[in-house]
Structure 1
Amino acid sequence: MRQLVTSTLVCSALLACTPTSGPDDSKTASQFPLVEDADGYFDTDFSTSYREHLRTLASDEFEGRAPGTRGEELTIDYITNVFQQAGVQSLSGTEGDYTQMVPMVRIAPTRVTDMRLRGGEAEETLAYRQQMMGWTHRAVDEVEIADSEMVFVGYGIVAPEYDWNDYEGLDVEGKTVVMLVNDPGYATQDEALFNGNSMTYYGRWTYKFEEAARQGADAAIIVHETGPAGYGWGVVAGGSPIRYSMKSENMNAGRAKVEGWITEDSAEQLFANIDMTLDQARTQALAADFEPLPLQRELSLIIENEIEYFETANLIGKVEGSRYPDEHVIYMAHWDHMGVEPISGEVFNGAQDNASGAAALLALAEKFAAIEQPERTVLFAMVGAEERGLLGSKWYAENPLLPLDQAVAGINMDMQNMYGPVRDFVVVGWDNSEMQDIAAPYVEAQQRYLAPETNPERGFFYRSDHFSLANKGVPMLYAKGGIDHFEHGKDYGREKFDYLFAELYHKPADEYDPEWDLRGMQQDLWIYFRVGHELVNSRTWPAWREGNEFEAERLRTESQRAQ
C-alpha cells in the first residue's frame, strides 16, 4: 500500500453483531443453497459487478474517501458514473446530478484546560484525557464554564413512555449535570424496565447530551464505566478530540457549552464529597423516589477552538415508481471513510467499512434499474460523513428529497460479510419492527436463520446511518451475515470476526483482498433485494413493534399521510 499525506484521522463508533445461538449445526456444505432466482435476479455475474465496485472504492487511488478531499471527489465521480450508466434517475432537478450538498463545520480544540472542581475551601483538578474528556459542539472560538454548580441527575433521562423523568422539578439552567451511562434496564437486567439488557436510545451518550441541552444545562458530564458503556476509557480518551457538526443558522442552539466524560475513579472522588459512593449513587438513581443530588462542587473549564467550514455530499438516486412515485423504499449506505493519517501518510481505505456497503448499494441500484419498473419508488441514498457522526444521513433526514411521511421503510448496509456463506442473518435492533418479519421467509429460503446481536446493551442500532431515519419514524432493517459458516462452522466465523475488529477496523489494514469469498455477500444482497422488491410492489407499510421508542413518530407521520 502506498502512503499519502492529505487528510485528518477521526474515529467513529464500533459496530459488532455476532449471533448467540443457532439451530441444528448438522447441515452440510452441500446443503448451502445458491442465491440465484428463476427470475434471473442476482445471477452468477452479480459477484463480478459487486467485486469491481468494492475493489475500486477501496483502492489507494481513492485516498480513504474522506469528506472534503480529493478522495471524496473521485468517489462522487465514480458513484455518479455508475448511477448514470445504470439509468438511475436524479432527484436534484438536473439530469445526472445526484449530489445533495451537506454543509459542515470542523471544530478542532487547540486548548482544553484541566477540569477544576471547587467547593468551599476545597479544590480538585481532573487532568485532561487522564481523568476527564471535554469538548464543545458549538462552533465558537472559545467556551468557558466558570464555577458552574454540579448536580447528579441519575441517568439523565426523560422518557414519558416509561414514566421516567430524572429532571422532574429541577432547574438546571447554567448548571453542570452529571449522569450515569446506559439506562435503567441494563442496570437492573429487568426485562420489564425500559428494554432490559438491550439499550434504548435513552441509554446512548448522544441522547444524554441532547437532553441536558434541552434542559438548559451549561455542561453535561457522563460517568464512564466500561460495562455499561461497552468500551474502555481508552476509547473515550484516545479518540480524536475534533468534533464535526452540520452548519446551520442555529447550529449552536440545542447544544450545551461543554460535553464530556469523567473516569469512574474521578466519580468516586466526586461523590465522596457528599459522603456517598458511586454504587450508592447508582442505587439512588434507580429508586422510584429519586431526586437530583447537589454535589457541592462547582466546575470550571475553558476550551479554545479552530473553526473550519466546508461541504461534503450525499448522492441520492432513484428508480421511480409507476403507480405510487412518492411512496418509496430507501436503500442506504455510507461512502466515506477516514482518509489519510496526516503524519504517517497511511491510507485508511475502509474496504469493509464501508466500501463493502457502498458497493452493495451500487449493485442494488444497477439491478433495480435493469428490471421491470416497480410500483413504488426505490431510493438509493449514498450518504457521507458517517465517520463524522452520521452527519450525511442526519442532513438527509432533516432535508429529505422525498417526503419522509411517504417513506415506506429502509435497509442500511454497513460493514458487510466478506468471509463466505453463513447460516445466521444477524439483526441489529432485534424485533424492533415488522421489517424483520418481511425478511424472515427469504432468510429461511436460503436455509438460514435470523439471530439477534450478542451485545444489545452496547446500542449498536444507534451507531449507523439507519438511525437518522428511524429517528424520523421510518422502519429500518439493519442486518447481515454473522459467524455460523456453512462450511467451516462457528469457530471459523468467530475467528474472522474477531480478527476484523482487532486488526482491521479503523486501521490501515482494512484493505481490499482479492481472495475474499463473496458468496456470503451474495446471500445477503439477495435478501436485501427481495425485501425491497416485495415492498415496492405491494401496499404494505411496515410498523414498529408496539411500545418501540420510534413508534410514536411513525404514528405521527401516518396521521399526516392520512390527511
Structure 2
Amino acid sequence: MKPLIISAVALAVLTACGPQQSQDTSAAEQTKVDKQPADLKGSAFNPNFRDYLKTISSDEFEGREPASAGEEKVVSFIENHFREWGLKPIDKENDSYRQPFPLVKIMPYKVSDMTFSGDNAPEAMKYRTEMMAWTMQVTDEVDLSDSDMVFVGYGIVAPEYDWNDYEGLDVEGKTVVMFVNDPGYATQDPELFNGNAMTYYGRWTYKYEEAARQGAAGALIIHETGPAGYGWGVVAGGSPVRFDLKRENNNMDRAKIEGWITKDSAEKLFAKQGMTLEDARQKALSDDFEAMPLNAQASVSVKNKFEFLDTNNVVGYIEGTKYPEEHVIYMAHHDHLGTDPVREDDPIYNGAQDNASGTAGLLAIAEKFAQQPAPERSIVFAAVGAEESGLLGSAWYADHPLFPLAKAVGGINMDVMNVYGPMKDLVVIGYGNSEMDEYVQPFLEEQGRYLTPNPTPEAGFFYRSDHFNLAKKGVPMLYAEGGNDHITKGKEWTEEQRAKYVAEAYHKPADEYNPDWDLRGTQQDLSAFYQLGRSLANSRDWPQWAEGNEFEAIRKETEEQRK
C-alpha cells in the first residue's frame, strides 16, 4: 500500500474549503496531466476532479465499506461539499444531506468445505479455491446436510421467452446447480432471449432469487469467466462479509446456501454422470430439456456473526425555478469493499476507479451546477451507498425518492470512469435502450466524438450498477463508461488497458490512485454529462425508453403524471 496520500489535517482543510485545489497536488503533476490543448473541448471541465478522486481513494478512507469509519469519512466529505456549494438537503427538517437506510452485516467466520455423498458423489470442494458458499439468512448458523442435487440448466423461468427450467419440478429442500448467463449468450442466436446481450435472467442475482422462489435449499452457479464477465478471483477474492437491506423476515425466504463452483469443479461433478460440461450445456439448451438429478447429496455449513447497522446515501439538489418536482438525477456509488484484515501486505481495497472516480465526477458536476443559475427543473445529486453489496443504496433511494420518480426526466449514472486519456468515442452500456443516447449525442459531436455500444453486452453490465434500480421504476437512464478508441493509441491499446485493470485491479487492493492517470477523457465525459443534464433541465422534453424495451411499459403507467 502506498503511504497515506493526505493527512488528517489536510483532509479537514480540503473538506472545509471544497472547490480549492489540495495543496499536496504538485504543480508538475497538474501541468503534466491536467493542462489541456485547446482542441480537446471539455477536457478542462473541472480541475478539482483530480483532487476529489485522490482524496476519496486514499488510505485514510479505508476502502469505504458500508457503515464503517471509512464510509463516515466519505459521507462527511460529500456532505460538506454539498453544504459549501449551497445545495438543498434531502432532509430539510434536520438540515441533513444524509438518507439513512438499514443494513444487516453478515460476517461468516467459519465456512466448511463442500462434501458430497451418494452414488455419483465427487470429491470434496475446497472453500474459496474450488467453491464459494455463504448464506443471506440472518441466523447464527446454517447447515445444508445431504441435500439432493439437481441440474436445472440455466435456472430461468421466463414466460415471455417461453422458457421454464423448473417446469414440473419440485426442488423443495434440494440444491440446484445451473449455468451463469442465459441461452441467448450460449447460442449467440439473436432470436433467443436477447442474443449475445445478457438479459436480467442471466444475472446471478436473478438465479438466486428464482431458486428461492422455487423452494431450493441450496443454489450453486457454475463459474465461467466469459459468460460471467469476470474471473474467479472476483468471486472468491476480497472480504467474505456481505450486506443486505434489513428485512422483517431476516431473509428466511432465501435459500440456505448460495454460492459458486469453479468450472473445473463442475467438470468433475458432471464426469460422475458420464458427461462433460459441454454435454450438460447442450442438454440445457435443448428444446426438450428436463432438470436432471445428479445422484449426489451436498453438505456445507456456514457460521455467522451479524449486526444491524445504518448506512447512508448522500442526496442534495438544486431546486428548479419553474418545475421543481420535475428533475434530472445524477448518481454514483461512494462505497467500496473496505479492508481485509487477513491480508498483511495490502489490506485496503481503495476502489480508486471503482468508484471513487464516479463519486468525484458527481462532485465535479454538482460544483459546476452550483456556480451557474438554477435551471427550470431540479437537479438531484445522489451519492448512494452499499452498491458493492448488491445495489442496496440505490434500491432504497428508488423506494424512497426525493421527488416522485414519475417526475424524473432521466438520469446519468457514473461508475468506473475513464483514466486512460481522451477517447474518440463514448461507450454506452445498454446502447439503444432509451432516447438518452440521442440526447447526449450532440454534446459529444461538439467534442468531435461519437457514441458506440458496449462491446461486451454478454457481461450484463447494464444490470450491475445503480441506474438499474431506477430503470426498474421506469426512469430512462444513461450509463456510459469512458471510451474504447484512444485518440492517438487506438482501440487495441485501450482494450489492453481495460483488460489489465480487470485482471489485476478490479475488486483488488491494486485499484489505487495513480498520479500518472490522464484524466482528460473523463473531463470530456463529465462536460457532456453536465451539458446533457442542463439541457434537459431547461427543456420540456421527456426522454422515452425504446419501443419494446422491458422498462417501457413501467414508464407508460405513470404517463398521466407528466402531463
Q: Which amino acid aligns with 1:35?
A: G
- Partners of 1:493 and 1:242 in 2: CA distance: 33
- 1:34 equivalent to 2:41? Answer yes
Do the aligned partners of 1:84 and 1:96 also contact (CA within 8 Å) in 2?
Answer: no
Q: Which runs of 5+ in 1 are unaligned?
A: 5-28, 37-43
- Partners of 1:271 and 1:507 in 2: CA distance: 32
- Partners of 1:519 and 1:267 in 2: CA distance: 45
Q: Deviations over 1:347-394 (max 9, x none)?
A: 443332222211211121122233232222211100112233322222
- 1:482 equivalent to 2:483? Answer yes
- Partners of 1:320 and 1:237 in 2: CA distance: 44
- Partners of 1:196 and 1:283 in 2: CA distance: 16
Q: Deviations over 1:231-286 (max 9, x none)?
A: 34343334433221111213414421111122334334433454444323222222
Q: Deviations over 1:506-544 (max 9, x none)?
A: 444444344443322221111111221222222322222
1:418 counterpart residue number:
419
Cα gap change, 1:227/1:57 in structure 2, threshold over 3 Å: closer, same or farther?
closer
Alignment of 1:487-506 (within 5 A): 487-506=488-507
Q: Which amino acid aligns with 1:396?
A: Y
Q: Deviations over 1:24-66 (max 9, x none)?
A: xxxxx98944239xxxxxxx5x432323322332333333333
- How far apart are 1:327 and its partner, in Å? 2.2
Alignment of 1:532-543 (within 5 A): 532-543=533-544
Alignment of 1:331-350 (within 5 A): 331-342=330-341, 343-344=343-344, 346-350=347-351
Q: In structure 1, the residue corresponding to 2:265 is in which secondary structure? A: helix
- How far apart are 1:333 and its partner, in Å? 0.7
RMSD (Å), alpha carbons: 2.7
Cα gap change, 1:280/1:497 in structure 2, threshold over 3 Å: closer, same or farther?
closer
Q: Which amino acid aligns with 1:131?
A: E
Cα gap change, 1:551/1:254 in structure 2, threshold over 3 Å: closer, same or farther?
farther
Do the aligned partners of 1:273 and 1:296 also contact (CA within 8 Å) in 2?
Answer: no
Do the aligned partners of 2:439 and 2:532 also contact (CA within 8 Å) in 1?
Answer: yes
Higher relative contact order (CA 8 A, sep 6+): 1
1:451 counterpart residue number:
452
1:385 counterpart residue number:
386
- Partners of 1:273 and 1:61 in 2: CA distance: 51
1:368 counterpart residue number:
369
1:216 counterpart residue number:
215
Per the normalisation by structure 2, the TM-score is: 0.87
Q: Which amino acid aligns with 1:430?
A: Y
Alignment of 1:91-102 (within 5 A): 91-94=90-93, 96-102=95-101
Q: In structure 2, the residue corresponding to 1:363 is in which secondary structure? A: helix
Q: In structure 2, the residue corresponding to 1:126 is in which secondary structure? A: coil
Cα gap change, 1:354/1:402 in structure 2, threshold over 3 Å: closer, same or farther?
same
Cα gap change, 1:414/1:215 in structure 2, threshold over 3 Å: closer, same or farther?
same
Q: Which amino acid aligns with 2:247?
A: S
Cα gap change, 1:527/1:121 in structure 2, threshold over 3 Å: closer, same or farther?
closer
Alignment of 1:171-190 (within 5 A): 171-190=170-189
- How far apart are 1:210 and its partner, in Å? 0.9
- Partners of 1:292 and 1:449 in 2: CA distance: 46
Q: Which amino acid aligns with 2:62?
A: E
Per the normalisation by structure 1, the TM-score is: 0.87
- Partners of 1:264 and 1:179 in 2: CA distance: 11
Alignment of 1:517-532 (within 5 A): 517-532=518-533
Cα gap change, 1:313/1:147 in structure 2, threshold over 3 Å: closer, same or farther?
same
- How far apart are 1:316 and its partner, in Å? 0.6
- Partners of 1:346 and 1:518 in 2: CA distance: 27
Cα gap change, 1:378/1:224 in structure 2, threshold over 3 Å: closer, same or farther?
same
- Partners of 1:226 and 1:548 in 2: CA distance: 28
- Partners of 1:210 and 1:390 in 2: CA distance: 15
Cα gap change, 1:165/1:59 in structure 2, threshold over 3 Å: closer, same or farther?
same
Q: Deviations over 1:281-321 (max 9, x none)?
A: 22222222322222223333221111122222110111122
2:312 counterpart residue number:
313
Cα gap change, 1:492/1:266 in structure 2, threshold over 3 Å: closer, same or farther?
closer
Do the aligned partners of 2:426 and 2:484 also contact (CA within 8 Å) in 1?
Answer: no
1:125 counterpart residue number:
124
Q: In structure 1, the residue corresponding to 2:332 is in which secondary structure? A: strand
Alignment: residue pair count: 530
- How far apart are 1:211 and its partner, in Å? 1.0
- 1:555 equivalent to 2:543? Answer no
Do the aligned partners of 1:32 and 1:486 also contact (CA within 8 Å) in 2?
Answer: no
Alignment of 1:198-217 (within 5 A): 198-217=197-216
2:149 counterpart residue number:
150
1:14 counterpart residue number:
none
- Partners of 1:193 and 1:54 in 2: CA distance: 42
2:8 counterpart residue number:
none
Q: Which amino acid aligns with 1:401?
A: L
2:15 counterpart residue number:
none
1:227 counterpart residue number:
226
Do the aligned partners of 1:107 and 1:137 also contact (CA within 8 Å) in 2?
Answer: yes
Do the aligned partners of 1:469 and 1:476 also contact (CA within 8 Å) in 2?
Answer: yes
1:356 counterpart residue number:
357
Cα gap change, 1:374/1:76 in structure 2, threshold over 3 Å: closer, same or farther?
same
- How far apart are 1:448 and its partner, in Å? 0.6
Do the aligned partners of 2:115 and 2:124 also contact (CA within 8 Å) in 1?
Answer: yes
- Partners of 1:210 and 1:103 in 2: CA distance: 21
Q: Which amino acid aligns with 1:434?
A: E
Of the structure 1 ranges 291-300 and 431-440, higher mean CA displacement relative to structure 2 is found in 291-300
Cα gap change, 1:290/1:530 in structure 2, threshold over 3 Å: closer, same or farther?
same
Cα gap change, 1:249/1:319 in structure 2, threshold over 3 Å: closer, same or farther?
same
Q: In structure 2, the residue corresponding to 1:106 is in which secondary structure? A: strand
Cα gap change, 1:135/1:442 in structure 2, threshold over 3 Å: closer, same or farther?
same
- Partners of 1:558 and 1:158 in 2: CA distance: 30
Do the aligned partners of 1:47 and 1:518 also contact (CA within 8 Å) in 2?
Answer: no
Q: In structure 2, the residue corresponding to 1:101 is in which secondary structure? A: strand
Cα gap change, 1:216/1:229 in structure 2, threshold over 3 Å: closer, same or farther?
same
Do the aligned partners of 2:239 and 2:337 also contact (CA within 8 Å) in 1?
Answer: no
- How far apart are 1:425 and its partner, in Å? 0.5
Do the aligned partners of 2:111 and 2:127 also contact (CA within 8 Å) in 1?
Answer: yes
Of the structure 1 ranges 376-385 and 259-268, higher mean CA displacement relative to structure 2 is found in 259-268
- Partners of 1:121 and 1:362 in 2: CA distance: 56
Q: In structure 2, the residue corresponding to 1:193 is in which secondary structure? A: coil
Q: Which amino acid aligns with 1:226?
A: T
- How far apart are 1:346 and its partner, in Å? 4.6
Q: Which amino acid aligns with 2:359?
A: A
2:235 counterpart residue number:
236
2:136 counterpart residue number:
137
- Partners of 1:483 and 1:79 in 2: CA distance: 30
Of the structure 1 ranges 462-471 and 208-217, higher mean CA displacement relative to structure 2 is found in 462-471
- Partners of 1:519 and 1:114 in 2: CA distance: 48
Do the aligned partners of 1:182 and 1:203 also contact (CA within 8 Å) in 2?
Answer: yes
- Partners of 1:234 and 1:340 in 2: CA distance: 16
2:85 counterpart residue number:
86
Residue identity (%): 59
Cα gap change, 1:319/1:286 in structure 2, threshold over 3 Å: closer, same or farther?
same
- Partners of 1:130 and 1:480 in 2: CA distance: 31
1:164 counterpart residue number:
163
